[in-house]
Amino acid sequence: MMLKTLAKAAAIALATSALAGPLAAQDRKMGYTAIDLTNPYFIALTDGMKQRADELGIALTIHDGKSDPASQVSAIENFIVQQMDAILVSPIDPRALEPLVDQVKMNSIPMISVAQGVPGSDAFLGLDEREYGLSIGRIAGQYIVDNMGGQAEVAILTYPELAPVILRGEGIRDGILEIAPEAKVVAEQSAATPETGAAAIEAIMQAHPNVRVVAGINDAGVLGAYEALAGMGVPTEEFALFGLDATPEALARMRDGGMYKATVDIAPVEAGKSAIDLAIRVIESGPVADMIVQDMVPVTAETLSAN
């Protein structure tokens, strides 16, 4: 990951780590349930959590929600039985977890929301979802203006199954049209994994063969679209793809040149470390009212080559 990006991301940790130290964390145990560990973002986020937990001597249990809200409910119930010192959760469906919040609190266990929020949790490390979408949408819009005469048919890979991410998809669309008002968003389809991204772009290209710009709510779905397009025999030099999360796979594609034009880095490894620090802060000092906001750093082929 770029040095400048990591320097910015370190500010997250500074905001949450003042009360976290090896002695304070010794012998603690925490549980984290992720949305889906096939998603590169959550893999990296979990890696950061593990690194920080190891540094502090915390026993960390990781649960893969596999995009199944019922699985997360069961995991949190198990964490309660195990009397975890803190429960961290990236919710698949925040509404499904709301009934558990009181139960967690009755057992005097802090609940920390990560990436997406659960109403009533004791702290939230996350994003302004609309701003996150706008950040890549504006980059895509500027690309359309600079390289396509301001006109292009656009497909957006969304994920309405996860309520907070709806705002991210809306931000992508609004950002594109803010900068390139003559562009046309002709398709919006759910895709958050490489497999669904590939399937989505195949369907989109059949219905809208003139699509030349694809923007998505994460890199994972857009990478699937990338691979599918590369195998379709289409003129890939005419295409521009834009994702979010700055996963290593997306950065590699950008370094190769070609279709993948930009992404936005939110430094998931550093965010994972910060989530553990935030949990310790809540254990030590109580709930944190204001959301701790992750940095968002645009990444293009030009910025990659400059670092």
Question: Do 139 and 100 fall within a single domain?
Answer: no
Question: Do 256 and 281 fall within a single domain?
Answer: no
Question: Do 100 and 151 fall within a single domain?
Answer: no
How, if at all, do strands 86-89 and 59-64 pair?
unpaired
Question: Do 234 and 147 fall within a single domain?
Answer: yes
State the total domains in the chain.
2
Q: Tens of pLDDT along 108-128?
A: 999 999 998 999 999 999 988
Q: What distance in Å separates the CA atoms of residue 180 and residue 176, rounded to the nearest whole number?
A: 6
Judge contact between 114 and 274, C-beta under 8 A: no
Tell me if 251 is assigned to some domain: yes
Tell me if 226 is assigned to some domain: yes
Q: What is the pLDDT of residue 57?
A: 95
Domain holding 198, by residue range, is: 129-265
Q: What is the pLDDT of residue 26?
A: 61
Question: Do 87 and 148 fall within a single domain?
Answer: no
Question: Do 92 and 37 fall within a single domain?
Answer: yes
Q: What distance in Å separates the CA atoms of residue 45 and residue 116, rounded to the nearest whole number?
A: 13
Question: Do 254 and 291 fall within a single domain?
Answer: no
Judge contact between 213 and 175, C-beta under 8 A: no
Question: Do 250 and 201 fall within a single domain?
Answer: yes
Question: Do 90 and 23 fall within a single domain?
Answer: yes
Question: Do 257 and 133 fall within a single domain?
Answer: yes
Tell me if 153 is assigned to some domain: yes
CATH code, 97: 3.40.50.2300
Tell me if 305 is assigned to some domain: no
- Give the start-end residues of each E strand in the chain: 29-34, 59-64, 86-89, 111-115, 123-126, 153-158, 184-190, 211-216, 240-242, 260-265, 292-293, 297-300
Looking at residue 88, its amino acid is: L
Q: What is the pLDDT of residue 17?
A: 42
Question: Do 213 and 123 fall within a single domain?
Answer: no
Q: What is the pLDDT of residue 23?
A: 39
The residue ranges of the chain whose pLDDT is under 70 are 1-26, 307
Tell me if 307 is assigned to some domain: no
Tell me if 166 is assigned to some domain: yes
Helix axes of 248-256 and 219-230: crossing angle, nearest 10 degrees: 40
Tell me if 174 is assigned to some domain: yes
Total residues belonging to the chain: 307
pTM of the predicted model as reported, rounded to 2 decimal places: 0.77
Three-class DSSP category at 60: strand
Q: What is the pLDDT of residue 2?
A: 37
Q: What is the pLDDT of residue 27?
A: 79
Q: What is the pLDDT of residue 163?
A: 79
How, if at all, do strands 297-300 and 260-265 pair?
antiparallel
Question: Do 140 and 256 fall within a single domain?
Answer: yes
Tell me if 149 is assigned to some domain: yes
